[in-house]
Each structure stands twice: as structure tokens, then as C-alpha cells.
Structure 1
Amino acid sequence: MNTRAIIGASAFVLASAFAAMPGNAATVSISCGAVGLELELCRTGAEAWAKQTGNSVNIVSTPNSTTERLALYQQLLAAGASDIDVFQIDVIWPGILGTHFIDLAPHSKGAEQAHFSSIVENNTVDGKLLAMPWFTDAGVLYYRSDLLEKYGEKVPATWDELTATAKKIQDGERAAGNDGMWGLVFQGRAYEGLTCDALEWIDSYGGGSIVDSEGKVTVNNANALEALTLASSWIGEIAPEGVLNYAEEEARGVFQSGNAVFMRNWPYAWALGNSEDSPIKGKIGVAALPKGGAEGKNTGTLGGWQLAVSRYSENPEVAADLVMYLTGPEEQRRRAVEGAYNPTIGDLYEDPAVLAANPFFGELYETFTNAVARPSRVTGAKYNQVSNEFWNAVHSSLSGTATPEEALTQLESSLKRMSRRGW
């Protein structure tokens, strides 16, 4: 298989290459996401490492869609390709891709002990540290603080309150002349982002996490049905029909242009929403996502990205050195200040510069440290199939091609068939 053809066909873009230095310098390549400021911050971090070490590095931009990125990674790694040395991987992928990565423990000098233990545990498979935490994530609620003040409304405590407030402000703004105003935008496309959003809705109502820690399929229950029924009612009412094809950046585009009251997204959107050219700079608030009713809870899906070294790398020692630099405290501090990327090192949540740039980091610390995990550990290599079934079922309910009851019943049946063959 021609792996360079795979890269070209998959729209990889070579974003930056630093000239090789004389002597024993090596060249390594790192895959970086391009959501928000990701690509630029990756480039500048790698450039600093290259200058410090005398090595050179190629920055490779990967698809924004996590689903597309995983498929591409699987192609490259299955082929034993050496084109990419350092992979940026989702928090749910160590169990799926781990056999292709080296153990970083011999290279870390114990640095992982400063990171959140839950993430380090997540990245450790069969006793091997397969990835270093780079930044963590949890879904949060963005709101237009100026509009809530204008209409005398408070930050909604429950999803029902959000629905009512979104409708009130949407209708008021439309009557005042903004025909493009919507109450809520989120990630509604049939992909991993919808799994994250829908898991938040369901877990906030006490509906569980699709598959429980023992591997039992639990998703078809009354609380999950209540959550999915409410979310399905939003489409065309407080959320545009187009939300069914929104990923993170599409949702941010609508919100940042001033055409949405509320947005579910990740913390990265804060820095962009408050950039100099943002129409809503200084008019944004961030809060925990609403509870699923008075008996529910605030919850955000655990996200975040890690850095792993391919076992097919021709320069694994150099690649591991780049990983340790990029995931270290100074680089995580810089990324938090410049791009609102959540550190995985607890001490940085007390850093004055980090908190000045992102006041909600301190206020929502519990949200970030107690986020609900997707069932990737218990379902292992089958997680992507589980998630695919889940997001398609949710999407069918949101789009109206199935009722919420039909969607959950069919989902339960599909997942149980899958589980009988073993996770």
C-alpha cells in the first residue's frame, strides 16, 4: 500500500516544515488537529522544540472530524507507515490504536505523575503508557451574557429552562429584526461529536452512559428517553434544521457571528469568541451544561487529546522527546493562555496567567475533573462501532426519521447483538 497516496487522498496538508540541521539531527512528523487555534499552537510549540534541540519537524494537519481522523489513522497504522511519528489521538482511542504505539514510560522520567491520574490511567493499556496527556476537555455551555441581561433571564439550571429561555430570546430578537437568531446550536452531525452531546443529555437525566462499566447495554431507559425526546423537540424550534450537519466549527460560526443565544461546545471556543475580530467579544459567558431536571445533574462528556509515538517511527527516541516537550507544564501553560486549551496538569489551574485568560477554568474545575466518560474502555476495539450505532440512532430521532422510542429500542437491539459476540 502506498501510504503517501493515502495521505494525499485523505486531504492531509503539510502545514509547516523546519529545515534540517547539520550533524545528527533527525526529522520527525507530528499530526495536529486544526479546530480553532490547534494547528497554529502545535506549529509554534514544535518550532520552539526544533530550535532548542536542532532537530526538524513536519507539521501535518488532519481532518477536523474525529470519525474521519480515526479512519485515516487506522489506514496508516495498519500499513505500518512511518510517515507520521507522533499521533494526536482522542482520549477514547488508546484501546483502539494502542498496539501501534510505543511505551512512553521509559522516556517520561516520571513526568506523567504531574498529570491528572484518571487520564494517565486511561492512556495506560496492559501496563504500558501509550500516550501522554496534552489537553483535556469537557462539554460546556456558552451563552450571550448581554442577551440574558437584556431579557432579564438567568443562566438556565435545567435543559427545560434553557429551552424556554432560548425560545423567549430567539423570538424577541427576531421581532427586533434579527431573522437569523436561533436559541441553541450544538454538534448535531452524525459523527463522534453527536455521541458526546447526546451522552451529556442522557447522563444529565440519570440515563447512564450507553453501556455500563460491566458491559451491560443500558441505554434504553425512561431517563434516556426523556432526554432524547426533549432534544428532538429543539430541531426547527430553537435550533436550526442545519444543526443536523453541524460539527464544532459550524456551531461556533453561528454563535460567534451573533446568531445564537446558547451553544454547546468545548473550551477552545472561548479564546476565539473573545478575539479582537469577534462580533461578540466581551458578551460571552461560560457555565456547566444544564441538569436534566431538578433531580438531574450537571455533566459534560470527557474529551481531550493525547500524543502517542508510532512504533513504526524511524526515530522513536526523538519523537518521544518532542512528545515530552509538548505535553510539559510550560507548553501546556502557553496553550491555555493563548488558546483556552485545558491543561492536564492540576497545578496549572492555580496559575494566575491561566486563570486570567480563562476565568471559568477555576469555576468549572469540577466539571473538567468529573466529566462523564464514553464507554471506550469497556467496549475496547468495538467502541467505534458502539458509538456509530449510538450517534446514528440519536441522529434519526433528531431528524424525525424515527421516534425517540423507536431509536432507543433499535439501538438497544443492535448493541446487545454486538455485545453477545464479546466486547
Structure 2
Amino acid sequence: MKKMLTLLGLTASLAVASQASAVTLSFACDSVGSGYDECRKGADAWAKKTGNTVNVLQVPKETDQRLALYQQQLGAKASDVDVYMVDVVWPGLISQHLLDLKGLIPAAQMKDYFPSMVENNTVNGKLIAVPWFTDAGVLYYRTDLMKKYGYKAPPKTWAELQTMAAKIQAGEKKTNSKFVGFVFQGKNYEGLTCDALEWINSFGGGSIVEPDGKITINNPRAAAALKTISGFVGTISPAAVTTYGEEEARQIWQAGNSAFMRNWPYAYDAGQAAGSPIKGKIGVAALPAGPGGKPSATLGGWQLAVNAYSKHPKEAASLVAYLTAKEEQKRRAIQASYNPTMPALYKDKDVLKAVPFFGSLYDVFINAVARPATVTGLKYNQVSDAFATAVYSVLTKKATPEAALKNAESQISRAKGRGW
């Protein structure tokens, strides 16, 4: 009896000790689509496994607003947030405030990622973030409407998209006054930089600033791309498209009020959800090409990083390791169509069954064009702002493509100064 009481006492003591050693982490994750819910699921699974607690925070939907908030927090060396979800273009901007994760993430796990993604997250020899999911812009289309209006395949060029969208829009508007041909991200923010880079690159107009640092945005092919897309506004795209971010475009598309949409892969799962008006009617293809050009998709993607000022760095790194490991990435791919950052998962039969286009568009994802964040470094925000503002002025009919691009070139040159 005495021995049993001793054992019970020891068990109770261990339980108290375990509770005392448990920590609570704060995780600034996602707010786009099902992002928050998926973050919550993963964090809860890790918490259950480790006995810790994770508070998943609501964050701004727009990436530039998130960055501004995080820079303010990190600049103040605040420890309020332990783990951040960071954009693929942010490492060079905030690396000095992020924990070096080398040695904290299992070496075997690090070998599973695309090497280029690990390289992107390595700054001055420090592994400041771990690849979580990658992104590239894709074209969504209504398979039922394509068939209804006599089209057998999605558009290969922007001219084909314009023709198809106009025909479908004219027909559908007879019974649905809200129907439009094409929606995209036309608001003046980082999302517009992504969309417009795709348009311009698909016309053979370059990448704004080339890898060697040369500013090339002011060229005839870039102007032709902007002229083409600005012609969509008020015709196959609503005038209000210049106020749309990812979610505004998705909501119109998912309500059944658009024939085509440019967005990221996350929108597929949302559109296929139970109760969605377009469930079972969604096709996904590479974005169209310009004359003499080729399809182009802007590289997106998100990483997980640990705040260098966190009071619980080991636990925070453990959460990052769990969320970015193969098992959790596979779950997120199957349940929410998030693109994995591990090559093996693009051949996984369960993933391909859930999200078939991952296999057919693998080359699109892997060969996506990068924004000029690496070459411009700390000046990237200024470059992106100048570019997006110039494009926005064309979409809103306040400037010609030629004048807007000349102005963008001038502003980017001033940002460059004597060098990046």
C-alpha cells in the first residue's frame, strides 16, 4: 500500500512538473481562404503531441500589410510572437530578426525540400526559415461553361482568353446580371506586382529588374502586356477589379459569377468544398501567353520562421519542424490544396488523387518566375511599390503604359541609387 502511494505521488509529481514545463506559443500564420483553420489544425496537433499550447493569431490578408506589422514588432525586438509565416520575398528584409534554425530542424528533414527553396531561406549562412508551401499563379476556368459554349480546351493566349471570356460573359449575363468573364488581383498592393509580372513576362517583357541588377521594366513588350490587360477592365473584367485582392476575386468566382480567374492554388480546395456552387466544375491550367511569349507564373510561397527574441526558441523551432515535415505537408496538400515544398509529394498517389493538377502543372510551379527580391534586397519594397503603382495607373486609365513604365523606371532607378 505504501509503495502504491509512493508511485501515485511520483506520478502526480511528474504530471505537475510536465505542466510546469509546458509553454504557450504565439503563431502569426495565415488569414487567406482556409489558411487560419489549417494553421489551427496543425498547431493543435503539435500541441497535443507535446503538451504545449499554441495561440494562432489573426493577421492581415494583404502581404504588404503583414510585412509592415511584422517589421514594427521585430524592430521593437518584441517577443509577443514566437513563430511567423513569412513570404518568399521577405528573408532579405527581416533576416536579422530571425533565429538561425540550423541544428534545430532535423538534418534528414532538410534534405527533403527543394534545394532552391532552402537556398532562398539561407541568409549569410543562417537558415532563417523553413519552406512550408509554395505557390505559383494559375488560371481557373469553369469546365461546364467551356463545354456549353463550345470550347474544348482552356485558352493558351491572352487573346484567346479575351475571346472566350467575352462570349461566355455575353451568354451568361442574359440570366445573371452579375456574371463577368475574368477576375484577377487588380488592387494596388503586392498581389498586383505578382499578376503584372506574369503578364509582362508572358509577353517576353522581362522581370522588372534582372538578376544582374539591370532595370528593364521600360520596354515595348511590357507596354504591350499592360495595354492588353488594361483593355480587359470594364469589358470582360468589372471596373471594380482594381479593388480586388485574392479573396475578393475568389468570392466572385466561387459564387459562380465568373468564367475565368487568376489566383493561387489554395482557391481550388475552397471551390470544391461542400456547398460551393461550382463544386465539380473547376478546371486549372497554366496562365496564358502573350504574342511570341510563353506562359508565366509568379513564384509565391511561404516559410515558417522563429522570432530571434522569442522566450521559447526551442519549442518554437519544434513547432516549425512539425508543421513543415512531410506528414503535415501531405495533410495540407490533400485537405486544402497547398503546394508542398518537397519533390516526393508531387508523386504521392494520395496527393495527386486529391489535387490532380499538381501533377500536370508541376513544371509551372517549379519554373515560376521570381520577383526581384534577391537582387534588390532591402530596396525590394520600394521597387514593388513603384511597379504596382505604375501598373495600377494603367488599369485605372490614369496613364498610358509607356508613361507609367517610364515613371516606374525612374523611381526604381532612384531606389537603386549607387547600387542595391
Task: Give 2:58's aligned residue.
Answer: 61
Moved more, 163-172 or 136-145: 163-172
Deviations 1:171-221 (A, max 9, x none): 1112x3221111100000000000000000001111111000111110011
Count of aligned positions: 402
Report SS of the residue matched to 2:231. helix
The structural deviation recorded for 1:27 is 1.5
Task: Give 1:199's aligned residue.
Answer: 197
Task: Give 2:10's aligned residue.
Answer: none
Distance (whole Å) between structure 1 residues aligned to residue 33 and residue 335 of structure 2: 11
Distance (whole Å) between structure 2 residues aligned to residue 145 and residue 54 of structure 1: 47
Distance (whole Å) between structure 1 residues aligned to residue 175 and residue 310 of structure 2: 57
Task: Give 1:28's aligned residue.
Answer: 25
Distance (whole Å) between structure 2 residues aligned to residue 27 and residue 78 of structure 1: 23
Query: Contact between 1:21 and 1:55, CA under 8 Å: does it hold in 2?
Result: no
Distance (whole Å) between structure 1 residues aligned to residue 419 and residue 72 of structure 2: 24
Deviations 1:90-138 (A, max 9, x none): 0000000110001111111222221111111111111111100000000
Task: Give 2:128's aligned residue.
Answer: 130
Query: Contact between 2:136 and 2:364, CA under 8 Å: does it hold in 1?
Result: yes
User: Does residue 1:420 correspond to 2:417, yes or no?
Assistant: yes
User: Does residue 1:399 correspond to 2:399, yes or no?
Assistant: no
User: Does residue 1:310 correspond to 2:276, yes or no?
Assistant: no
Give 2:328's aligned amino acid.
E
Query: Contact between 1:183 and 1:261, CA under 8 Å: does it hold in 2?
Result: yes
TM-score for both structures, normalised by structure 1: 0.94
Instruction: Pick one of 89, 94, 109 that aligns with 1:92.
Output: 89
Report SS of the residue matched to 1:141. strand
Give 1:300's aligned amino acid.
A
Task: Give 2:355's aligned residue.
Answer: 358
Report SS of the residue matched to 1:136. strand
Moved more, 81-90 or 150-159: 150-159
Query: Contact between 2:166 and 2:236, CA under 8 Å: does it hold in 1?
Result: yes
Instruction: Pick one of 47, 51, 55 that aligns with 2:48.
Output: 51
Task: Give 1:13's aligned residue.
Answer: none
Give 2:410's aligned amino acid.
S
CA RMSD in angstroms, aligned pairs only: 1.0
- Structure 2 residues not aligned, in runs of 5+: 1-16
1:222-237 matches, within 5 Å, as 222-237=220-235
Query: Contact between 2:379 and 2:416, CA under 8 Å: does it hold in 1?
Result: no
User: Does residue 1:331 correspond to 2:334, yes or no?
Assistant: no
Give 1:99's aligned amino acid.
Q
Task: Give 1:159's aligned residue.
Answer: 158
The structural deviation recorded for 1:81 is 0.5
The structural deviation recorded for 1:249 is 0.5
Report SS of the residue matched to 2:36. helix
Deviations 1:13-49 (A, max 9, x none): xxxxxxx961311221111111111111111111110
Task: Give 2:14's aligned residue.
Answer: none
Query: Contact between 1:166 and 1:238, CA under 8 Å: does it hold in 2?
Result: yes
**Percent of paired sites with the same residue:** 57
Report SS of the residue matched to 1:22. helix
Deviations 1:252-275 (A, max 9, x none): 011111111100000000011011
Query: Contact between 1:81 and 1:312, CA under 8 Å: does it hold in 2?
Result: yes
Query: Contact between 1:131 and 1:308, CA under 8 Å: does it hold in 2?
Result: yes
Report SS of the residue matched to 1:47. helix
Report SS of the residue matched to 2:302. strand
Query: Contact between 1:21 and 1:56, CA under 8 Å: does it hold in 2?
Result: no
Report which of the two structures shows the higher radius of gyration computed on alpha carbons.
2
Report SS of the residue matched to 1:87. strand
Task: Give 2:252's aligned residue.
Answer: 254
Distance (whole Å) between structure 2 residues aligned to residue 122 and residue 202 of structure 1: 24
Deviations 1:363-396 (A, max 9, x none): 0000010100000000001101110111000000
Query: Contact between 1:186 and 1:248, CA under 8 Å: does it hold in 2?
Result: yes
Deviations 1:137-189 (A, max 9, x none): 00000001111111112310001110111111111112x32211111000000
Report SS of the residue matched to 1:148. helix
Instruction: Pick one of 292, 295, 299 that aligns with 2:296.
Output: 299
Task: Give 1:384's aligned residue.
Answer: 381
Deviations 1:287-308 (A, max 9, x none): 0001112x21111100010000
The structural deviation recorded for 1:420 is 2.1
User: Does residue 1:116 correspond to 2:114, yes or no?
Assistant: yes
The structural deviation recorded for 1:422 is 2.1
The structural deviation recorded for 1:345 is 0.7
Distance (whole Å) between structure 1 residues aligned to residue 182 and residue 110 of structure 2: 38
Distance 1:318 1:416, change over 3 A: same
Give 2:228's aligned amino acid.
L
Give 1:276's aligned amino acid.
A
Task: Give 1:319's aligned residue.
Answer: 316
Task: Give 1:79's aligned residue.
Answer: 76
Report SS of the residue matched to 1:23. helix
Give 1:218's aligned amino acid.
T
- Structure 1 residues not aligned, in runs of 5+: 1-19
Query: Contact between 1:84 and 1:313, CA under 8 Å: does it hold in 2?
Result: yes
The structural deviation recorded for 1:421 is 3.6
Task: Give 1:4's aligned residue.
Answer: none
Report SS of the residue matched to 1:234. coil
Distance (whole Å) between structure 2 residues aligned to residue 21 and residue 72 of structure 1: 34
Task: Give 1:270's aligned residue.
Answer: 268
